[in-house]
Amino acid sequence: MLSRRSLLRLSVGAAALPAFSFDETVPVAKKTGMIVRAARPEDLEMPLEFFSDYLTPAEHFFVRTHTYVPRVSPGEYKLEVAGEVSKPLALSMTDIRKLPRVELVSVLECAGNGRSLYAPPMPGLQWSYGAVGNAKWAGVRLGDVLKQAGVKPAGREVLFDGLDVGPGTMPDFQRTIPVKKALDPNTLLAYEMNGRTLPLQHGFPLRVIAPGWASDSWVKWLAKITVLDHDFDGFFMKTAYRHPGKPVRPGEAVPPEKMSPVTSLRVKSVISTPADGATVAPGGVVKVAGAAWSGDGGPVESVEVSADGGRTWRAAAMISPRTPFGWRLWSFDWRPAREQFHTLMARAKTAAGDIQPFAQEWNPSGYQWNVVHKVGVNVSSQPAPAAQPAGPVDVSGQPAGYRSSCLVCHGDDVVTQQRLTRGQWEKEVDKMGRWGARVKPEDREALLDYLMRISRGR
Ligand SMILES: Nc1nc2c(c(=O)[nH]1)N[C@H]1C(S)=C(S)[C@@H](COP(=O)(O)O)O[C@H]1N2
Ligand SMILES: [Mo]
């Protein structure tokens, strides 16, 4: 691992990351029809139309990679279990498969899903609705592995480390969950997704399944589990993935130590059809449909639909059964009579009474967006005018050093999707500097001007 990281460090400032060769026995999912938030490293969002599937096929399942997909050699793979345990382990996939097999359906949703909908904006991938999917996972209980190792009474947190290593001096993606969540019978180490071997992009050969929790805890390419007797202080626990836990003034800088780790997902629904901006003919039946899910506070009980901006609500039919962690498809037959514009909304509720809000408490990193989804539909016998696609961003006129300072570890798309103020860009350039970007002091102002121009700078 050390040698791999130093190789990456050397490549910074010189050329793009080295290309990885894959063992043919490693299954790679083919992706189609996805919204590319970033090509390198790969971050793919699922368009709304695919919320029509109960189980999201790997082909349409969103992808989130902080660094890049690591090279995995199945023959050499071992899962290490260490730390506060009486018997440290090194398990092969054959050893792991000998433990009882468990299957469960669960939603996997990125904590940052919906970030682009927050105002004021913040840096990060500008996800809209589709950094989420629902799959049937199969594997073993993490608790069964930990029982084999024997967690000592001092054990408090369980640290997960995957095979991926960041470029330059970027902190490693390492995450912990409390021992209590680790021993929950629903917390799994999965080797299958939707009845097939887990694809490489989703964590082959083994990933964490933490049902009901945001997917930053669902570590992929799991290589090492360490039981700790203290709070882990890595970047991805102590700085990233934290929420103030109460409303704060929008735009406020909250120190990380005043925030807590994001855990449970929130109750949420999305409208898969009709599409926002659609035109439908009057007099017929329009199918309004989508998916709804929640976190560890119990499944979604009902979804209501409004066609008049929230004045009146009607119950949707729940198509798929209630399961502890899967999403539920729902559908509503809408009969618009008059030619007019309608604002459709869908609102999910759990048995415990958790319900989606109409306005979201802002938080510094834009986590856990679950505002009632709205789509505008025009009821008209006239066809809709052709939509004007947004033109490409003009990335010409690169200042000195942009390419060698900023396009070493990732592409332009990571940069152009941001909507930041100059002050936020300055902080972003400083953060990248800490991770290994080299910006000459005399190039900094021109670089900031350029970043404001090619992104949707405010
Ligand atoms: N090892 C490793 N695990 C990881 C990540 C990562 O970058 N590296 N990203 C996490 C985040 S933030 C998310 S949202 C999910 C995405 O899972 P998916 O790509 O299978 O959809 O993986 C999580 N597990
Ligand atoms: Mo995420």
The CA 400 to ligand 2 mean position distance, Å, reads 33
- Phi and psi angles of residue 369, each rounded to the nearest 5 degrees, phi first: -65, 125
**Ligand lying nearest the CA atom of residue 236:** 1
First-to-last alpha carbon distance for the chain, in angstroms, is 41
Give domain 4-240's CATH architecture.
Answer: Alpha-Beta Complex (3.90)
Are 49 and 272 a contacting pair, CB within 8 Å? Answer: yes
Please identify, by atom number, the ligand 1 atom nearest to the C-alpha of residue 67: 7
The CA 43 to ligand 2 mean position distance, Å, reads 10
Please identify, by atom number, the ligand 1 atom nearest to the C-alpha of residue 109: 14
Q: What pLDDT, on a 0 to 100 scale, did the predictor assign at position 374?
A: 98
Q: What pLDDT, on a 0 to 100 scale, did the predictor assign at position 111?
A: 98
The CA 141 to ligand 1 mean position distance, Å, reads 19
CB atoms within 10 A of CB 60: 20
The CA 111 to ligand 2 mean position distance, Å, reads 5
The CA 173 to ligand 1 mean position distance, Å, reads 9
| Identical fold between 4-240 and 268-379 | no
Q: What pLDDT, on a 0 to 100 scale, did the predictor assign at position 113?
A: 98
Q: What pLDDT, on a 0 to 100 scale, did the predictor assign at position 306?
A: 98
The CA 155 to ligand 2 mean position distance, Å, reads 26
E strand residue ranges, 30-113: 35-38, 43-45, 63-64, 79-83, 89-91, 102-109
Nearest CA to ligand 1 atom 14: 110
The CA 215 to ligand 2 mean position distance, Å, reads 6
Are 288 and 316 a contacting pair, CB within 8 Å? Answer: yes
**Ligand lying nearest the CA atom of residue 199:** 1
Q: What is the mean pLDDT of each run of 10 residues along the chain (458 residues)?
A: 40 40 77 97 98 98 96 95 98 97 98 97 97 98 98 98 96 97 98 98 98 98 98 95 97 96 98 96 96 96 96 97 97 95 98 96 97 97 82 85 93 94 96 96 95 84
Instruction: Give ion ligand 2 contacts, CB < 5 A.
Output: 64, 110, 216
Q: What pLDDT, on a 0 to 100 scale, did the predictor assign at position 18?
A: 40
Probe residue for ligand 1, chosen from 46, 63, 66, 109 as the CB with the greatest number of ligand atoms within 8 Å: 66
What is the 8-class DSSP label of residue 70? P
Annotated domain spans of the chain: 4-240, 268-379, 402-454
Q: Which residues line ligand 1 (CB under 6 A)?
A: 61-66, 108, 110, 162, 164, 173, 202, 215-216, 218-221
Q: What pLDDT, on a 0 to 100 scale, did the predictor assign at position 387?
A: 78
Residue 48, burial from CB neighbour count under 10 angstroms (0-12, 13-18, 19+): buried
**Ligand lying nearest the CA atom of residue 67:** 1
DSSP H helix total and E strand total for the chain: 9, 24
Please identify which residue in the block is written with the tokens 């309004």.
288
Q: Is the pTM of this model over 0.75?
A: yes
**Ligand lying nearest the CA atom of residue 62:** 1
Are 293 and 300 a contacting pair, CB within 8 Å? Answer: yes
Please identify, by atom number, the ligand 1 atom nearest to the C-alpha of residue 63: 19
The CA 108 to ligand 1 mean position distance, Å, reads 10
**Ligand lying nearest the CA atom of residue 108:** 1
Probe residue for ligand 1, chosen from 59, 65, 176 as the CB with the greatest number of ligand atoms within 8 Å: 65
Q: What pLDDT, on a 0 to 100 scale, did the predictor assign at position 95?
A: 97
Residue 4: its H or E element: helix 2-11
User: For 169-192, what is each residue's pLDDT tens digit?
Assistant: 999 999 999 999 999 999 999 999
* Cβ within 8 Å of residue 317, ≥6 positions away: 330, 331, 332
Please identify, by atom number, the ligand 1 atom nearest to the C-alpha of residue 203: 20
Q: What pLDDT, on a 0 to 100 scale, did the predictor assign at position 24?
A: 63
Are 196 and 205 a contacting pair, CB within 8 Å? Answer: no
User: For 387-411, what is each residue's pLDDT tens digit?
Assistant: 787 777 888 889 988 999 999 999 9
Structure tokens at 197: 């071997």
Q: What CATH number does the domain located at 268-379 have?
A: 2.60.40.650
